């Protein structure tokens, strides 16, 4: 059987004016039986979806903040650097993937993108908007546990546990949940940490970073394996 082809949204380095990729995203796909294909960033949306049509799944990576204009808000001073090209690219890719019922995995920015495109909103900056949080901005090495999450739904069934220690590196998070989404994990301060699409075969997204902990944590490997198996 041919390996599953996974379209991977590229990362952007504005200082070097170049796309790049963390190898662990591709390692996780490869070790789970797939092949990760890093997409171009500066491409017309119709060309991007044609590439997706040749793939079996979509991985939405971490990265820049999602533009608040995507959920009808003005950008606050505490919001981070934006990448409008990613906003345009991911909207086209996600809509097509959901339309075709392709498997989707969102990580960090990925869960925020999925939530916004399903009609939800975000906290633009947790330290100022949710000051009594458990601390979601870890320091190197990024595979270390920062806090625990409480698991429900399909993620609890997959991992076989009610609680999970996760690595964490973000300053934005889901505020209002998108209408088609179901919560699969929450942190102890009540923030949404994982979601699934209620009406699609496999659209999952997590706020933590299983790519950083792929080699050291069996649960991270299970998440990647479940994604690739559903592609």
* Residues assigned a catalytic role: 108, 209, 211
Cα–Cα distance measured from residue 17 to residue 77, given in angstroms and rounded to the nearest whole number: 23
40 DSSP assignment: P
CA distances from 211 to 88, 132, 144 (A): 24, 27, 12
Pick from 133, 135, 151: nearest CA to 194: 151
Helix or strand run (H / E) with residue 10: none
How many CA atoms does the CB half-sphere of 117 hold within 13 Å? 25
Cβ(148)–Cβ(166) under 8 Å?
A: yes
User: End-to-end distance of the chain based on CA atoms, in angstroms?
Assistant: 13
Could you please report the per-residue DSSP string of 126-195?
Answer: HHHHS-S----B--SSTTS--EEEEE-HHHHHHHT-SEEEE--B-S-EESSPPTTEEEEEEETTS-EEEE
Strands 122-123, 173-174: pairing kind = antiparallel
Cβ(106)–Cβ(206) under 8 Å?
A: yes
């Amino acid at each position: 059987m041919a390996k599953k082809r996974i379209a991977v949204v590229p990362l952007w380095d504005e200082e070097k004016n170049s796309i790049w990729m963390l190898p662990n995203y591709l390692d996780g796909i490869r070790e789970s039986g797939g092949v990760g294909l890093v997409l171009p960033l500066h491409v017309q949306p119709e060309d991007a979806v044609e590439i997706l049509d040749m793939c079996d799944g979509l991985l939405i990576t971490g990265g820049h903040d999602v533009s608040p204009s995507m959920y009808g808000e003005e950008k606050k001073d505490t919001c981070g650097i934006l990448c409008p090209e990613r906003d345009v690219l991911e909207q086209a890719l996600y809509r097509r993937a959901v339309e075709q019922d392709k498997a989707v995995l969102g990580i960090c920015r990925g869960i925020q993108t999925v939530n916004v495109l399903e009609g939800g909103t975000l906290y633009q900056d947790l330290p100022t908007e949710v000051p009594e949080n458990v601390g979601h901005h870890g320091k190197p090495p990024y595979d270390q546990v920062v806090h625990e999450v409480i698991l429900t739904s399909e993620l609890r069934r997959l991992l076989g546990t009610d609680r999970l220690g996760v690595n964490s590196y973000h300053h934005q998070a889901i505020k209002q949940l998108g209408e088609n989404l179901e919560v699969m994990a929450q942190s102890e301060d009540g923030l949404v940490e994982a979601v699934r699409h209620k009406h699609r075969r496999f659209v999952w997204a997590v706020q933590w970073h299983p790519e950083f902990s792929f080699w050291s944590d069996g649960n991270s490997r299970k998440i990647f394996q479940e994604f690739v198996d559903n592609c």
